[in-house]
Structure 1
């Protein structure tokens, strides 16, 4: 195990290990379960839990412990200054640099997708979009993954009101075709739209999740002559998914599988 610096207070690390053992999937834990999740002995887990209970951060309910609302105080100041575009910016920059392409973050607003963050390609010739740009959701990869996250009643309401038009010869021409594309995006977890909005332009998008909720979509805009469609799933999609995961994590949706350091104490 890597040696910690002299100032390092191990009891602080252990206390956070105990708090992080509680997840959305396991909100109520016994002492033994906390010990296993925090990688410590049962006796140590019990002492930390009782101390945290005295401080008001956990409460006991029979053999179970659970977090209290006071835990929200730890992150309140940080979260108060965080916006989704602000959280996403550094990840979009890294993705744009890795792919040498334009990257964006979009949300669904009525029938449209709206760009809320955008990092242009490092190349001189790049796709020209800016924050606030709107496109019909049905015609974009971002829109299709966001529509795929809607409930069936919400999606049906969208289908009942959507107005399709031919931007190019490749644009979808019917609601049935659109439903099939949205169903495919839901099943795969990503969407690719090629030259349906503009000739020579291909978009690839994946959802950004905060916990179980889809809060946005991350997109890469590609010129068709630079990125063959058949290679995108191997070359672009893994990086795009990783960026979306990191944005979601930083926005407050970190999953319980986050790595912990250290060994049994």
Structure 2
């Protein structure tokens, strides 16, 4: 079956190559070879060979004794969007939601025990860390993750709990029983609102985006701060807009059927 394989099919060199690429982050934007080796746990000779290979392929560049990523790495993410037409389909709907609410709108999917932003329209920066397409946040402490895990298989919930629920902010849910109860409420309500669980003062909401057959494809999220909105205001005024937007995305997906891309005209705006 496609997607299944034994240990014999596992290519360790590819794993190490990705480990080296992922060693470049906000804390290490231009690391030395030794710093990459420390971050990955690989030997310096192995890291050197991998970096030289990535350099030849055009994904990294040497600057003196340090290394940097090149713009070519961005094409990896572009391939995801190109092969997942729903990202492009959702973009004009995210723009419209951001314009109507004057707050950031995002689309995210579950990846292991994290959620990954696959599309985003950012109106203002409200989080301490920069959030862009490709950013990862823990599923258990976010409205997006709450929605995605609420309708996921029991094994996914078990994996999230097994990874731990460390406290990230003043209201982070750290008790497994309370977390399961929260997921039950999300399934009952059809949406999630999370306040000060990922960061103090961060207030977010999410609703499911469903496939034509009713499965949950992604989470549509809205984020603001407690100084700008209350949970009650979000439930009363924002959630209905989000549910309409999610339904519109789902309807577009149904109408597009097997179409891979949506060739929509460019949309003017200040975002």
Q: TM-score range by the shorter chain?
A: 0.5 to 0.7
Partner of 1:237: 239
**Which residue of 2 is the match for residue 205 of structure 1?**
206
State the partner residue of 2:89: 87
Runs of 4 or more, structure 1, over 6 Å off, are: none
5+ residue gaps in structure 2?
1-81, 257-271
SS of the counterpart of 2:151? Answer: coil
Q: Choose from 109, 129, 132 the match for 1:130.
A: 132
Partners of 2:174 and 2:126 in 1: how far apart?
28
Q: What SS does structure 1 have at the residue aligned with 2:152?
A: coil
1:23-38 correspondence to structure 2 within 5 Å = none
Q: Please say if residues 218 and 244 of structure 1, whose CA atoms lie closer than 8 Å, have aligned partners that are also in contact.
A: yes
Shift of 1:186: 0.9
CA contact (8 A) 1:166 1:173 kept: yes
* Shift in Å, 1:223: 1.1
CA contact (8 A) 1:142 1:219 kept: yes
Q: Distance in 2 between matches of 1:225 and 1:129?
A: 20
Instruction: Give the conservation status (yes or no) of the 8 Å contact 2:113–2:159.
Output: no
- Is the 8 Å Cα contact of residues 210 and 253 (structure 1) preserved in structure 2? no
Cα–Cα, structure 1 residues 202 and 232, in superposed 2: closer, same or farther, change >3 Å?
same
**1:98 partnered with 2:100:** yes
**Equivalent residues of 1:104, 1:119 under 8 A apart:** yes
Deviations 1:151-170 (A, max 9, x none): 334433443x2311111121
Partner residue in 1 for 2:111: 109
Unaligned runs of 5+ in 1: 1-79, 255-265
Partner of 2:194: 193
Q: Give the Å deviation of 1:226.
A: 0.5
**Which deviations, in whole Å up to 9, do the C-alpha atoms of 1:12-39 show, x marking residues without a partner?**
xxxxxxxxxxxxxxxxxxxxxxxxxxxx
Is 1:182 matched up with 2:200?
A: no
Q: Deviations over 1:8-64 (max 9, x none)?
A: xxxxxxxxxxxxxxxxxxxxxxxxxxxxxxxxxxxxxxxxxxxxxxxxxxxxxxxxx
- Quote the Cα distance in structure 1 between the aligned partners of 2:167 and 2:232: 25
Contact map agreement 1:101 1:126 (CA 8 A) in 2 = no
SS in 2 for 1:95: helix
